[in-house]
């Protein structure tokens, strides 16, 4: 009899993977939690805006009246649960950035291009119509002390380590993992979480697959 601590065999893992229904939700509908938007996959329509934006009842970086402190209602509930669970373990997280409209993303992207050049901008900022923030399913999470905010060093903080280890339990994945730029097109963003629901986040965790592109067997999107 297999001990509870013994990892499942490769055959058992494959059986679990085969049993998972990858067609349950759309990969193209912006209202779907499994939507995959990247440099090769533009939102349709490109100016799409969610209809259920709400401000999560949790720690926020700025005033709750700001649109970038809003996310979809389902994302908000998951953020509330995750941030509360973290607080119970003395980990203090906050929403640093949520929804961005097409026009806001256009402004941010063009500012990055002017400051750093297009090649660098394309590794750090999505073009309008290609941004996860525009969907309302994504959020940038930071420490309430604001150390390493939106920086790679967040990964080495207690808050970043907790997020990496526990996000999947609340339906989130780290959307732009380390060493996956050739797949996602973006540099490592340990603070950027994407809500996909617990069914998918836990399945990806079980299979040790980090990106949506790899899980759904989609082409890599290193560039436009």
CA distance 50 to 204: 25
User: DSSP letters of 176-216?
Assistant: E-TT-HHHHSS--EEEEEEE--HHHHHHHHHHT---HHHHT
User: What is the Cα–Cα distance from 162 to 171, expressed in whole angstroms?
Assistant: 15
Write down the catalytic residue from 112, 132, 159, 189.
189
Do the Cβ atoms of 141 and 75 come closer than 8 Å? Answer: no
Sign of CA dihedral 190, 194, 197, 203: negative
Determine whether 189 is an active site residue. yes
Helix, strand, coil shares of the chain, percent, nearest 5, are 40, 10, 45
Q: Which residue has the tokens 């979480």?
A: 193
Active site residues: 189
């Amino acid at each position: 009899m297999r001990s509870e601590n013994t990892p499942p065999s490769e055959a058992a893992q494959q059986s679990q993977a085969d049993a998972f229904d990858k067609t349950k939700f759309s990969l193209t509908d912006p209202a779907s939690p499994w939507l995959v938007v990247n440099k090769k996959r533009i939102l349709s329509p490109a100016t799409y805006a969610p209809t259920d934006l709400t401000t999560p009842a949790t720690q926020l970086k700025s005033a709750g009246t700001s649109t970038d402190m809003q996310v979809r209602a389902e994302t908000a509930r998951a953020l509330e649960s995750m941030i509360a669970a973290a607080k119970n373990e003395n980990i203090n997280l906050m929403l640093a950035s949520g929804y961005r409209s097409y026009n806001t993303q256009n402004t941010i992207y063009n500012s990055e291009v002017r400051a750093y050049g297009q090649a660098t901008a394309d590794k750090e900022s999505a073009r309008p119509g290609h941004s996860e923030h525009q969907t309302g399913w994504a959020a940038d999470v930071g420490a309430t002390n604001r150390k390493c905010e939106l920086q790679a060093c967040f990964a080495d903080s207690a808050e970043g380590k907790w997020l990496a280890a526990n996000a999947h339990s609340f339906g989130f994945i780290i959307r732009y993992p380390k060493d996956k730029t050739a797949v996602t097109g973006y540099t490592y963003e340990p603070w950027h979480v994407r809500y996909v629901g617990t069914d998918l986040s836990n399945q990806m965790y079980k299979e040790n697959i980090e990106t949506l592109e790899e899980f759904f067997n989609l082409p890599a999107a290193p560039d436009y």
